[in-house]
């Protein structure tokens, strides 16, 4: 489906310079622009491609001033990077119409409830008294346990497993092979040196507008709930242990592990391979660099941390400048 520059400009609240009737059918990187595509310039190091691209439409930020003439139609926006994210969502919506209906090979309990426009793919299982909201998309080979609830317009990709009693909000996306509600890692040592399993009787609650990456695991609580607040974005291969709470709009990169009962604040940014110890809290708007280790409470908001054990990023970089030269002394 083709979209005109005028439609795009209205969607991203941009200003058109050039032909408003030019149309495109896909988005590409600026260095690979070709007729019928749209690209964007957000990083100045790619400016050279702006003057040679064959793309029909280019998004640029308002603060950027071209040094040469540009042949494509230009759409000027406040922030090209944010605008392209919104635009990709538009193209995705236009391209991927929702499916509906139920595969003959799906196993759906008679006591489950489904809203309007629900899709259930091949070999998926929907348990007893599960509730699927309007427009929910359940792709093939998904397991939805008994008493699970999933809100309107959420998408569950192939191979996802949602254990009984878990709750997923509206407009959530859970990518392939994620596991929601597996047992927390709870074992009590005994006098003979063995370990007795502690029953995990809680569930997982995922609020609205959450995205969870492929092969990520969110464990059920020992009691009560493991909670992922609205707007959280989790990358692939993340471990969220029992009774963890992650605050609104926090983003976490791949291979991070969060131990049991940790409380992560809202609007935090956590890099890849970060380790967060159990039973501690991380303040709102904390930024944690990749491979950092969080071993104690982070009480002050708006901190940036590096290292393991992690501490203030500026102090870490000063220390690093010294210890990387120690072998020369």
Enumerate the active-site residues.
Answer: 242
Residues contacting residue 234 through CB under 8 Å, at least 6 positions apart: 210, 211, 212, 213, 216, 228, 240, 246, 251, 252
Per DSSP, the chain holds a count of helices (H) and strands (E) of 4, 40
Q: How far is CA 11 from CA 16, 54, 75, 85, 323, in A?
A: 12, 23, 11, 11, 51
Q: How far apart are CA 181 and CA 241, in angstroms?
A: 10
List helix spans (H) across the chain: 5-12, 47-50, 80-95, 313-323
> Rounded to an integer, what distance in angstroms lies between the CA atom of residue 34 and that of residue 214?
32
Measured CA angle at 212 (ends 208, 213), to 5 deg: 160
């Amino acid at each position: 489906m083709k979209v005109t520059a005028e439609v795009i400009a209205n969607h991203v609240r941009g200003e058109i310079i050039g032909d408003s009737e030019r149309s495109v059918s896909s988005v590409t990187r600026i260095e690979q622009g070709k007729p019928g595509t749209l690209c964007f310039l957000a990083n100045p190091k790619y400016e050279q491609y702006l003057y040679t691209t064959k793309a029909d439409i280019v998004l640029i930020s308002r603060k950027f001033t071209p040094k040469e003439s540009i042949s494509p139609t230009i759409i000027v926006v406040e922030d090209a990077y944010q605008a392209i994210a919104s635009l990709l969502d538009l193209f995705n919506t236009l391209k991927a119409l929702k499916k509906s209906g139920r595969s003959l090979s799906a196993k759906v309990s008679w006591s489950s409830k489904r809203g309007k426009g629900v899709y259930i793919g091949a070999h998926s299982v929907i348990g007893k008294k599960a509730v699927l909201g309007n427009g929910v998309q359940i792709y093939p080979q998904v397991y939805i346990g008994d008493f699970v609830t999933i809100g309107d317009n959420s998408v569950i990709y192939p191979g996802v497993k949602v254990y009984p009693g878990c709750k997923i909000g509206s407009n959530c996306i859970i990518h392939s092979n994620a596991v929601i509600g597996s047992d927390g890692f709870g074992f009590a040592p005994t006098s003979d040196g063995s370990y007795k399993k502690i029953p995990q009787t809680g569930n997982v609650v995922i609020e609205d507008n959450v995205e969870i990456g492929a092969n990520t695991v969110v464990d059920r609580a020992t009691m009560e709930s493991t909670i992922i607040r609205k707007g959280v974005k989790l990358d692939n291969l993340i471990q969220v242990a029992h009774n963890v709470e992650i605050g609104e709009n926090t983003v976490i990169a791949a291979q991070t592990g969060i131990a049991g009962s940790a409380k992560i604040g809202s609007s935090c940014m956590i890099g890849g391979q970060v380790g967060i110890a159990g039973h501690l809290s991380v303040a709102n708007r904390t930024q944690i660099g990749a491979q950092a280790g969080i071993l104690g409470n982070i009480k002050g908001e708006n901190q940036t941390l590096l290292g393991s054990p992690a501490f203030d990023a500026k102090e870490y970089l000063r220390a690093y400048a010294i210890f990387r030269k120690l072998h020369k002394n």
